[in-house]
Amino acid sequence: MPAWVKGASTDMDTAIAAAAELLGAARTPVIAGLNAEVSAIRAAYDLAGRVGASLDTLGAAGTYAELGALSRSGAMTSTPAEVVGRADAVLVVGAKPWSTELTGRILEARPSRGRAAGAERALMALGTGAPQAALTVPAEGGLLPGLALLRAHLRGHLAEASPTADLARTLAASLYVAVLYDPAEVGEMGVETIQGLVIDLNETTRAFSLAVPGETQDRAVVPVAAWTTGQAPRTGFGRRVPEHDPWRFDAARQVAAGEADAALWLASVPAPAPGWLSRIPSIALVGDASPEAAEVVIAVGVPGRDLGGVLWNETRGALTYWPARAGGAVAADLPSAASVLSRLTDHLAGRSDTAC
């Protein structure tokens, strides 16, 4: 059971006591990362309620670009399986989607279900071109003006001949359009413009948006946060009730401003730790543990490898259980992140009066 305090190897009880000491002494602790299985994310929210911490996620930039646009204009979304099975026109926005495995699957298949079954599939690019794209619109001024220009053509507000006009015509003539994008790359206003043009396309044909898979468990954090607090992930418990504030509970900002005085980094699904972690007293519960990752480091089992756990399944667009892989560590060797977090919560329960 690898655990370290200030770089020195120790046993689990000592490490948990040191972590509890560190969190218990803090005025404004933060719990960040949340790149973990559902049981660990739930335990992190319990711990945050106990110590009055705020929470932040690894993929918050993309998550809030999506949620911000969703809260303002709604969204028409599809799933990877639906797009692979039904889309005859796929618009790829920006550079990031081209490097995902999903785009490969879309390229390999042709529509097999629905109104476009049997048709050819055309991929089109806005922003970054790729050899696989049948049509590329470069968007010299950036993705935002490029998207706005496309939407203006689709609405009939602009009509002069241009590659954007050709793209708009092709999309409007398709039977099932899918727009692929990376929320962190296009930003909130980009997502909103994409949703707007998808809604416009649905006046005459079928169209859906599909955000490409992120490399984080944010899609699992959002529902857990919602069913636990009724809010999106960046929630703080300093005043005992959950307060949602995406600006105030941005962990990097809190550390830079000197507000946070202790941090717990949760990444049972391995992810690079942020640079700010070393600037304040910190605890790391990580799948890939190294003694110098934080002041207190506890190695935990990686869900889907060492232990079973519920993770976001990109292919199915749902939360699914992943059993431990044969050849992973024996469960007794590495504790689950959830069990460490709940021991930490219990340890703090005796000394803290901020139970939520």
Partner 1 sequence: MSTLTLREAPPERLDLLPITPLSLSGLSQGEAERLEIGTSRRGVRLGDIFTVSLDGSDTLTIEGGHERLDQVGAALSEGTLRVNGDVGQRLGAGMAGGRITVSGYAGPYAGSGATGGLITVEGDAGDHAGGALYGAKAGLDGATLIVRGRAGDHCGDRMRRGTILVGRAGAHAGARMIAGTLAALEVGDLPGFGMRRGTLVVGRHGALSPTFVETGSHDLVYLRLLARHLQGLSEAHAALLARPLRRYSGDLATLAKGEIWVAA
| Binds partner 1 by CB under 8 A, chosen from 81, 109, 241, 257 | 257
- Nearest distance from C-beta of residue 192 to partner 1, angstroms: 7
Contact call for residue 33 and partner 1 (CB under 8 A): no
**Main-chain dihedrals φ then ψ at residue 90, nearest 5 degrees:** -125, 120
Rank residues 111 and 190 by Cβ distance to partner 1 and give the closer one: 190
Query: Exposed, middle or buried: residue 165 (CB in 10 Å: 0-12, 13-18, 19+)?
Result: middle
- Nearest distance from C-beta of residue 28 to partner 1, angstroms: 5
How many CB atoms sit inside 10 A of residue 243's CB? 16
Contact call for residue 76 and partner 1 (CB under 8 A): no
Handedness of CA 10, 16, 20, 22 (dihedral sign): positive
Which residues, 6+ apart, have CB-to-CB distance to 169 below 8 Å? none
| Binds partner 1 by CB under 8 A, chosen from 38, 39, 44, 64 | 64
Rank residues 68 and 335 by Cβ distance to partner 1 and give the closer one: 68
Contact call for residue 151 and partner 1 (CB under 8 A): yes
- Nearest distance from C-beta of residue 225 to partner 1, angstroms: 13
Which amino acid belongs to residue 154?
A: L
Contact call for residue 355 and partner 1 (CB under 8 A): no
Site track for partner 1 across 266-305, x = CB under 8 A: ----------------------------------------
**Of 39-47, 120-128, 139-147, 341-349, which part binds partner 1 (CB under 8 A)?**
139-147
**Which residues are registered as beta bridge partners of 3?**
10, 298
| Binds partner 1 by CB under 8 A, chosen from 21, 82, 259, 346 | 259
| Binds partner 1 by CB under 8 A, chosen from 157, 161, 327, 350 | 157
> Nearest to residue 176, comparing CAs of 94, 234, 90?
90
Query: Half-sphere exposure of 135 toward its Cβ, with a 13 Å CA cutoff?
Result: 17
Task: Return d(Cα 32, Cα 277) in angstroms, integer.
Answer: 10
Contact call for residue 30 and partner 1 (CB under 8 A): no
**Which residues are registered as beta bridge partners of 285?**
266, 298
Contact call for residue 158 and partner 1 (CB under 8 A): yes
For 40-79, b/e burial (b = at least 16 CB within 10 A) is bbbbbbbbbbbbbbbbbbbbbbbbbbbbbbbeeeebebbe
- Cβ atoms of 63 and 213 within 8 Å: the answer is no
Name the residues that contact partner 1, by CB under 8 A: 27-28, 51-52, 64, 67-68, 71-72, 141, 144-145, 147-149, 151-152, 155, 157-158, 189, 192-193, 196-197, 232, 236-240, 243-248, 257, 259, 352, 354
